[in-house]
């Protein structure tokens, strides 16, 4: 039982990519990509008016650890938008966090980073200074 050798693709760069397909593609008379206008990026996503949110600092029932709570989201915002905002906050602050009952909890005392990130997302931020 002898194994069949595998067909290998040249990756060293000496062979131009798609060299075997070029003559077939040229005969199709496909218009160049520069003549095609892409749709606007927000055509399939609804534009949300973010509204105002409030910040508060909490340490209760957390063993002395501080969290920043973002609350007061507009009622028209779906939970998916709040979760996207939470993901961006966790990435900006490089910490953990969660979404509970339309509020976002971010670990650590990072009011400035949270405020800056939310304002960049289009929220009006009030609360702790």
Q: Which residues lie across from 56 on neighbouring strands?
A: 69
**pLDDT attached to residue 5:** 84
Domains and CATH numbers, the chain: 53-127 (3.30.780.10)
Pairwise CA distance, residues 6 & 57, whole Å? 61
Q: What's the CA gap between 33 and 127, in Å, rounded?
A: 49
**Strand locations in the chain, DSSP E?**
52-58, 67-71, 97-100, 103-107, 124-127
Using only C-alpha atoms, what is the Rg of the chain? Answer: 26
Q: Do 116 and 82 meet the contact criterion of CB atoms below 8 Å apart? A: no
In which residue are the tokens 């496909």 written?
Answer: 30
pLDDT score for 73: 93
Low-confidence ranges of the chain (pLDDT < 50): none
pLDDT in the model for residue 3: 83
Q: How far is CA 123 from CA 25, 40, 126, in A?
A: 49, 23, 10
Stated pTM of the model: 0.63
Identify which of 89, 80, 90 has the alpha carbon closest to the alpha carbon of residue 120.
89
């Amino acid at each position: 039982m002898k194994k069949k050798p595998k067909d290998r693709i040249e990756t060293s760069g000496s062979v131009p990519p798609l060299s075997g397909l070029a003559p077939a593609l040229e005969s199709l008379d496909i218009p160049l990509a520069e003549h095609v206008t892409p749709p606007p990026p927000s055509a399939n996503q609804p534009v949300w008016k973010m509204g105002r949110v409030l910040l508060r600092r909490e340490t209760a029932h957390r063993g002395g650890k501080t969290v920043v709570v973002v609350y007061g989201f507009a009622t028209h915002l779906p939970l998916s938008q709040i979760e996207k905002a939470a993901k961006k906050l966790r990435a900006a602050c490089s910490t953990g966090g969660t979404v509970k009952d339309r509020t976002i909890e971010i670990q650590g005392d990072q009011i400035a980073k949270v405020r800056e990130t939310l304002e960049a997302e289009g929220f009006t931020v009030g609360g702790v200074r």
